[in-house]
C-alpha cells in the first residue's frame, strides 16, 4: 500500500472519466499542455515548437501512407477478384428473379435489388457475379446475325427459315419488339446466341420509295397536255365531287391509271399532280360526309414512287416479296390515316408480257403477284395505282384489263400551242432580262417574255431545211420528213431554258469580274440553246433497235421500211428496218 502513488489515483480515479486515454496519450496535446504551463519568453518553448512541428509532419506522412496503402489494397482486391460473367436475359418469372443464359447454360438467378427494374429488358446483356446473381445490365448486344422473317406467330414468337438443308428457328422477341408489327420478309438482327430477335432493321430500298408527304405539284404547274389532264381529272375528281350522281348510276370508281406516251412529256408530273389533287379531295369529302367507313379519315397522303427496275432482283422470290411489301406498306399507311399512291415508273420493265418458256422468266411470277395484290384493292379510298410507261404494248394484258387499270390516258407530244404554255412555265417574268431585250420589246417585262417565247417556238416549229431531223420511207413508197417540232417534248423545252440560263449566268459573272454592268437573259441565249439541244439529240438508232425507237416516236414501224438522217455529213445514209418488221 505504501508503494501506491497519488498520481496513479488521479489517472485511474475521477480524472480518468473526464479525458479519454487516447487523447491523454496524444503527443500534440501533451506538447500543447507543456507550452501552456511555461511562462512567456521561456527558452524551452522554442524547443517544444520544433518538437510539435516534427510530430505534425510525422502524423501527415503516416496519413498519406495509410491512404496509399488503402488504394493499393483495393487495386489488389480487384485484380485478384474472380471475373464477372456476361449473359443474356431470357425472362423475368417473378420479382427479383431472372432466367438467364450464360455460356450456353441456363440459370434461374436472383437479381440485385439495386438494379432498376426498367433496365431489365428481355434480350439485353447482363452482368452476373460468382454467385450468378444479376448485378448490372449492359444493354443490347450491338452484334449478331441478320435474318429475314418467315412468319410472325400468333403468340408473338418469330419463325425464321435458313438456308436449304438447315432447320428453321423459332425465336422470342426482345422487350423493344413486343407489340411491333412484323411481317414476312422483314430483316431482324438476333443475338449471337440465336435465342432472341433484338432489332428490326429498316429496309433501305423501301425507305427510299416512300415520301412522307404527297407531292405539292398542281395542275397549273403543268404546261400543255390539257387533253390528258382533263381526262385524268374527270376520272379521279368527278366521282368525289359528284358522288350522289355516280351512286345513282351504280358507278364503280376506278382504282388504277396508266399514263403512256413518248419520254419527257410529263407523265411523272401528271401522276404527282393527280396524287396531290386526289388526296385533297378525298380529305374534304370524308370530312363533309362525317366519315362512316371503318378506315380512319384521310389526314394526308403518302406517295410511293417506284422505278420499275428497282424491284428486279437476282434472288429467286425477292422481287415478288418486294411487290408484297409495297402493297403492305401502302395499306399500313392507309390504316394510319394517309391516302397512299403507288406510282410505278417504267412499268413495262416489271409488268412485261409473260411468255410460256422452259427457262425462268421473272414476269411469269411477278405479274401474277401484282395482279393478285391489285385485286385486293377496293376503290380510290383504299390505294391508288398509277402506272407510267413509254411502251404500253409491252405491259401484260392481265394488268391493263378493266377492273385493275381502268383508265389508259395518253400523254402526247406538245403541239405549237402546248409548247408555248410549257415554255411559259419555265421562262417566267421573275427571270432577269437584259436591258436591250426590254428596249426592243416595248419596255414591259411581260411583253418581252411573251415575245421571247414566240421566237423560240417559231425557231423550233418552222419547216426549214435546218430543222429537218429524219426522213422516213413508208411502205406505200412515200417519204415523210420529221422536223424538230415533231420530236419536241417538255423535257427538251425545259433543257433549252436551262441552257439559256447557264449562258446568261456565265456572262453576268464574267461581266462582274471585268467591272462591267451585269445584264440578263437575251434572245441569242435561247436561240443558241435551241441549236445546241437538238444538235446533241441528233442520233440514228442501230438496225436492231429501229422498231422500238420508231414506237417511241409515235410511228408504227409496220409502215416504215427505211430511215435516213439529215445530220450533217450523213444526208444520203439510210438504214432499212424492213428486216426486223
The pLDDT averaged over each successive group of 10 residues in the chain (581 residues) is 45 46 66 82 83 87 90 81 86 91 91 90 91 90 87 89 74 90 84 90 60 68 81 78 82 82 84 78 62 51 74 73 79 75 85 62 75 71 81 86 85 86 86 81 80 89 83 76 83 89 87 67 88 72 55 64 62 43 33
Rounded Cα gap, residues 68 and 52, in angstroms: 25
Same domain, 157 and 188: yes
Choose the final residue of a domain: 123, 139, 155. Answer: 139
The pLDDT of residue 358 is 45
Same domain, 374 and 448: no
Same domain, 105 and 197: no
The reply to whether 2 falls in a domain is: no
Residues contacting 139, CB < 8 A, separation 6+: 124, 125
Helix (H, G, I), strand (E, B) or coil at 306: strand
Same domain, 272 and 393: yes
Closest CA to 570 of 542, 528, 539: 539
Same domain, 282 and 193: no
Choose the final residue of a domain: 370, 391, 410. Answer: 410
The reply to whether 9 falls in a domain is: no
The pLDDT of residue 300 is 53
> Would you say 456 and 484 are in contact if contact means Cβ atoms under 8 Å apart?
no
Same domain, 331 and 384: yes
The pLDDT of residue 334 is 76
Helices 226-241 and 267-289 pack at an angle, to 10 degrees, of 20
The reply to whether 95 falls in a domain is: yes
DSSP tag of 219: G
Rounded Cα gap, residues 239 and 74, in angstroms: 81
DSSP tag of 131: T
Domain count, the chain: 5
The reply to whether 156 falls in a domain is: yes
**Strand 210-211 versus strand 384-389 pairing type:** unpaired
Same domain, 345 and 425: no
3-state DSSP of 296-330: CCCCEEEEEEEEHHHHCCCCCCHHHHHHHHHHHHH
Helix (H, G, I), strand (E, B) or coil at 100: strand
The reply to whether 152 falls in a domain is: yes
Choose the final residue of a domain: 39, 54, 79. Answer: 79
Same domain, 125 and 75: no
Same domain, 406 and 440: no
The reply to whether 33 falls in a domain is: yes
Beta pairing partners, 431? none
Same domain, 305 and 267: yes
Strand extents, DSSP E, 76-201: 85-91, 97-102, 105-110, 125-128, 134-139, 146-152, 158-160, 169-173, 187-190, 196-201
The pLDDT of residue 179 is 85
Helix (H, G, I), strand (E, B) or coil at 259: strand
> Would you say 472 and 560 are in contact if contact means Cβ atoms under 8 Å apart?
yes
| Sequence-ordered alpha helix ranges (H) in 204-338 | 204-209, 226-241, 243-248, 267-289, 308-311, 318-335
Closest CA to 386 of 268, 490, 519: 268
The reply to whether 267 falls in a domain is: yes
**Which residue has cell 414501224?**
557
**Burial (0-12, 13-18, 19+ Cβ within 10 Å), 395:** buried
The grid cell for 88 is: 443474356
Same domain, 64 and 105: no
The reply to whether 28 falls in a domain is: yes
**Tell me, what CATH number does 283's domain have?**
3.40.50.300
**Which residue has cell 403518302?**
302
Same domain, 227 and 329: yes
The grid cell for 216 is: 405539292
**Tell me, what CATH number does 170's domain have?**
2.40.50.140
Q: What is the domain extent for residue 127?
A: 85-139
Amino acid at each position: 500500500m505504501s508503494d501506491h502513488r497519488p498520481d496513479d489515483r488521479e489517472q485511474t480515479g475521477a480524472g480518468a472519466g473526464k479525458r479519454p486515454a487516447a487523447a491523454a496519450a496524444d503527443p500534440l496535446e501533451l506538447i500543447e499542455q507543456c507550452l501552456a504551463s511555461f511562462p512567456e519568453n521561456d527558452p524551452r518553448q522554442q524547443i517544444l515548437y520544433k518538437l510539435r512541428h516534427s510530430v505534425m509532419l510525422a502524423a501527415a506522412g503516416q496519413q498519406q501512407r495509410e491512404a496509399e496503402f488503402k488504394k493499393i489494397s483495393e487495386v489488389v482486391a480487384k485484380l485478384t477478384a474472380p471475373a464477372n460473367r456476361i449473359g443474356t436475359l431470357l425472362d423475368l418469372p417473378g420479382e427479383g428473379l431472372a432466367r438467364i443464359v450464360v455460356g450456353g447454360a441456363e440459370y434461374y438467378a436472383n437479381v440485385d435489388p439495386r438494379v432498376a427494374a426498367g433496365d431489365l429488358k428481355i434480350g439485353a446483356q447482363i452482368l452476373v457475379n460468382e454467385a450468378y446473381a444479376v448485378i448490372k445490365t449492359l444493354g443490347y448486344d450491338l452484334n449478331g446475325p441478320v435474318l429475314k422473317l418467315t412468319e410472325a406467330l400468333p403468340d408473338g414468337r418469330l419463325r425464321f427459315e435458313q438456308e436449304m438443308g438447315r432447320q428453321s428457328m423459332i425465336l422470342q422477341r426482345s422487350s423493344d419488339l413486343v407489340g411491333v408489327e412484323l411481317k414476312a420478309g422483314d430483316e431482324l438482327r438476333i443475338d449471337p446466341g440465336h435465342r432472341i430477335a433484338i432489332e428490326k432493321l429498316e429496309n433501305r430500298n423501301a425507305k427510299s420509295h416512300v415520301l412522307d408527304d404527297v407531292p405539292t405539284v398542281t395542275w397549273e404547274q403543268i404546261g400543255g397536255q390539257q387533253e390528258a389532264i382533263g381526262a385524268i381529272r374527270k376520272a379521279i375528281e368527278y366521282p368525289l365531287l359528284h358522288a350522289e350522281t355516280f351512286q345513282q348510276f351504280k358507278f364503280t370508281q376506278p382504282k388504277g391509271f396508266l399514263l403512256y406516251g413518248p419520254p419527257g412529256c410529263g407523265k411523272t408530273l401528271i401522276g404527282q399532280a393527280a396524287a396531290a389533287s386526289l388526296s385533297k379531295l378525298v380529305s374534304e369529302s370524308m370530312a363533309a360526309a362525317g366519315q362512316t367507313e371503318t378506315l380512319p379519315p384521310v389526314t394526308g397522303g403518302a406517295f410511293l414512287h417506284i422505278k420499275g427496275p428497282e424491284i428486279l432482283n437476282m434472288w429467286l422470290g425477292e422481287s415478288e416479296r418486294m411487290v408484297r411489301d409495297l402493297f403492305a406498306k401502302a395499306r399500313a399507311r392507309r390504316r394510319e390515316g394517309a391516302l397512299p399512291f403507288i406510282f410505278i415508273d417504267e412499268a413495262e420493265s416489271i409488268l412485261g408480257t409473260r411468255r410460256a418458256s422452259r427457262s425462268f422468266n421473272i414476269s411469269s411470277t411477278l405479274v401474277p403477284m401484282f395482279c393478285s395484290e391489285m385485286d385486293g384493292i377496293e376503290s380510290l379510298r383504299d390505294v391508288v395505282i398509277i402506272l407510267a410507261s413509254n411502251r404500253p404494248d409491252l405491259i401484260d394484258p392481265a394488268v391493263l384489263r378493266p377492273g385493275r387499270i381502268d383508265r389508259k390516258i395518253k400523254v402526247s407530244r406538245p403541239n405549237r400551242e402546248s409548247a408555248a404554255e410549257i415554255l411559259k412555265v419555265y421562262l417566267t417574268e421573275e427571270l432577269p432580262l437584259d436591258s436591250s431585250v426590254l428596249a426592243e420589246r416595248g419596255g414591259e417585262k411581260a411583253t418581252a417574255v411573251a415575245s421571247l417565247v414566240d421566237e423560240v417556238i417559231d425557231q423550233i416549229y418552222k419547216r426549214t431545211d435546218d430543222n429537218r431531223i429524219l426522213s422516213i420511207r413508208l411502205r406505200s413508197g412515200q417519204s415523210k420528213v420529221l422536223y424538230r417540232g415533231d420530236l419536241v417534248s417538255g423535257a427538251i423545252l425545259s433543257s433549252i431554258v436551262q441552257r439559256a440560263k447557264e449562258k446568261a449566268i456565265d456572262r453576268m459573272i464574267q461581266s462582274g469580274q471585268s467591272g462591267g454592268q451585269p445584264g440578263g437573259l437575251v434572245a441569242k441565249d435561247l436561240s443558241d440553246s435551241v441549236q445546241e439541244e437538238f444538235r446533241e439529240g441528233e442520233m440514228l438508232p442501230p438496225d436492231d433497235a429501229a422498231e422500238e425507237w420508231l414506237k417511241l416516236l409515235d410511228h408504227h414501224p409496220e409502215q416504215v421500211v427505211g430511215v435516213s438522217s439529215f445530220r450533217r455529213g450523213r444526208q444520203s445514209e439510210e438504214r432499212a428496218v424492213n428486216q426486223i418488221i
